[in-house]
Amino acid sequence: MTSAICFDVLTLFPGIFEGFLSESVLKAALTTQKIEVRLHNMRDWAEDKHATMDDRPFGGGPGMLLKVDRVVPCVEEIQRRQKPGRLLMFTPQGRCFNQMFAEELATEQRIVMLCGRYEGFDERVAEILKPEEVSIGDYILNGGEVAAMAVIETVMRLVPGILGDEDSNRFDSFSTGNRILDCAHYTRPREYRGFSVPEILLSGNHAEIARWRKNNSLQQTKEKRPDLLAAVSENSHSENSPLKTEPKFSQISIIKNQNQCK
């Protein structure tokens, strides 16, 4: 069986992925060959006996840079091994990774991911390979490995047949079902320390439950992530606001694929 999607990860620290790949949904997806993850130690492309991958920056300054003459041949060889994949290079300067970006990546057969370390890459890596530069947020990690894990985990959830319930990823926050936040969820016990489950969820009335969930989802978004609501109808600000009764989703336009991390 060939996997639906293959991730090639180029890293100096493949060991970081060991636990990540051997638990839970990812372990099952790998075992059943629904996805494939190949780890490549970039150090194997270093020719000197110390396997040097980094060097001091020209012009001075702190830290070390990943060497262009080590990284480029490594990526080129891995790309040559089969039909070249979509090449992502993790850097804080890149396009922000989000759910819509993940949906786009889930249509690929092969994704090749380049993880930086130290002060990052010699700029010529990007000039020569022309990768898509990708950031997972406005903060600095030690390396691109956590970013690669975020991409693998988010994209694999979108591969058909991996999650037990196909609907569960449609109605997740940010996802195709609504593009806003998911509603609140409850399970047993019905009461805990004086906090009860909303009555409507115990009613068995599916239409009313669906209405409550839509309303709650919109309310959560307004309170926690108003930036996701680009425009709500004029009415939504009035006393007769649809938000106070039933949300009219057609009246909400969602900010399209933002490229900047917030």
Binding site for ligand SAM (CB under 6 A): 90-92, 115-117, 119-121, 135-137, 139-144, 147
Amino acid found at 20: F
Cα distance between residue 92 and residue 60, in whole Å: 21
Query: Is 8 noted as a catalytic residue in this protein?
Result: no
Helix axes 24-31, 145-156, angle to 10 degrees: 70
Cβ proximity to ligand SAM: between 7 and 90 the closer is 90
From 157, 182, 242, 247, the catalytic residue: 157
Query: Is 172 noted as a catalytic residue in this protein?
Result: yes
Q: Are 96 and 260 in contact (CB under 8 A)?
A: yes
The three-class DSSP label of residue 36 is strand
Residue nearest to ligand SAM (CB): 116
Nearest-approach distance from CB 73 to ligand SAM, in angstroms: 18
Cα distance between residue 71 and residue 159, in whole Å: 30
Largest CA distance in the chain: 74
Nearest-approach distance from CB 89 to ligand SAM, in angstroms: 7
The three-class DSSP label of residue 88 is strand
From 55, 108, 119, 132, the catalytic residue: 119
Nearest-approach distance from CB 142 to ligand SAM, in angstroms: 6
From 43, 103, 172, 225, the catalytic residue: 172
Query: Is 119 noted as a catalytic residue in this protein?
Result: yes
Nearest-approach distance from CB 125 to ligand SAM, in angstroms: 10
Cβ proximity to ligand SAM: between 72 and 180 the closer is 72
Cβ proximity to ligand SAM: between 110 and 117 the closer is 117
Cβ proximity to ligand SAM: between 113 and 232 the closer is 113
What ranges in 23-158 are assigned the alpha helix state H? 24-31, 68-80, 99-105, 124-129, 145-156
Nearest-approach distance from CB 120 to ligand SAM, in angstroms: 3
Cβ proximity to ligand SAM: between 64 and 209 the closer is 64
Query: Is 188 noted as a catalytic residue in this protein?
Result: no
Instruction: Name the β-bridge partners of 6.
Output: 36, 110
Q: Are 70 and 42 in contact (CB under 8 A)?
A: yes
Amino acid found at 105: L
Residues with a catalytic annotation lie at 92, 119, 157, 172
